[in-house]
Amino acid sequence: MSDLLTIEDISVSYGNIKALRNVSMLVAKGDIVCLIGANGAGKSTLLKAIVGLESLESGRILYKDEVIAADRASHAHSLPTNIIVSKGIALVPEGRRVFADMTVEENLDMGAFLNKDDAAVARKKEEMFDFFPILGERRRQKTRSLSGGEQQMMAVARALMSNPEILLLDEPGLGLAPLVIQDIFSKLAIINKEDKVTIFLVEQNARMALRSSNEGYVMETGRIVLHDKASELLKNQKVKSAYLGE
């Protein structure tokens, strides 16, 4: 498989605090890749850097061999977030970040803001309502009335409205009941296999993330400290003791 997303030796700082330290990663087309690590390890910062919401102190990020983010000293130019999204990258942010006073349908419309083809947007919404039936039932309800799991499904559907080639997810299981998390991860597997959407997943539930992924990375204090097949990381003693409670 070809590499869809390439992260080359990137660093990000907040003042004197190094959030990311010389991080390099590859996400192959068609894969599900997970990144696990403790709170504050820098995982969310990495996802924000990919979509242009954090500036790089060093290194660069390539999408389909095109530079989309680079440090200021580089001759390459970082792209604004809307252009990155238009190229086929979508982010489901931590905490869902839904528009609480808008309806489910209006939230999905926001996910398609770059698409000026009203008929195509309407078709995509119906696809999402078919795929997430509960959203179809609640399409005219204010989002604040949805449960946490329903809001997470809506956040995923909103991201899919832009027809991404790669979907970035930041803690999709955060604060949700185990059965709801299983349901969301089963949906992600279908999106990956049937819709051919590559998935890069940041998740605190390390066991669920690794079981759902092809490849896995482990981040500690802004550095990648382990990388292997996800099935191998599940057997790694360091991962088992630090993240799997074994």
Structural domains of the chain in order of their starting residue, each with its CATH number: 3-88+164-243 (3.40.50.300), 95-162 (no CATH)
How far is 201 from 43, CA to CA, in rounded Å? 10
Residue 205 per-residue DSSP state: -
How far is 173 from 147, CA to CA, in rounded Å? 13
Give the model's pLDDT for residue 57: 93
CA-based Rg of the chain, rounded to a whole angstrom? 18
0.85 surpassed by pTM: yes
- Give the model confidence (pLDDT) of 83-106 as tens digits: 999 999 999 988 667 877 889 999
In sequence order, the 6+-apart residues with CB closer than 8 A to the CB of 102 are: 110, 142, 143
Give the model's pLDDT for residue 179: 87
In sequence order, the 6+-apart residues with CB closer than 8 A to the CB of 178 are: none
Give the model's pLDDT for residue 245: 78
Residues of the chain with pLDDT under 70: 1, 75, 95-96, 246
3-state secondary structure of 111: helix
CA–CA distances in Å: residue 111 to residues 81, 85, 184: 13, 10, 19
CA angle centred on 217, ends 171 and 221, rounded to 5°: 80
How far is 20 from 217, CA to CA, in rounded Å? 14
* Selection from 224, 244, 234 nearest residue 42 by Cα: 224
Give the model's pLDDT for residue 147: 86
Residue 237 near residue 228, CB atoms below 8 Å: no
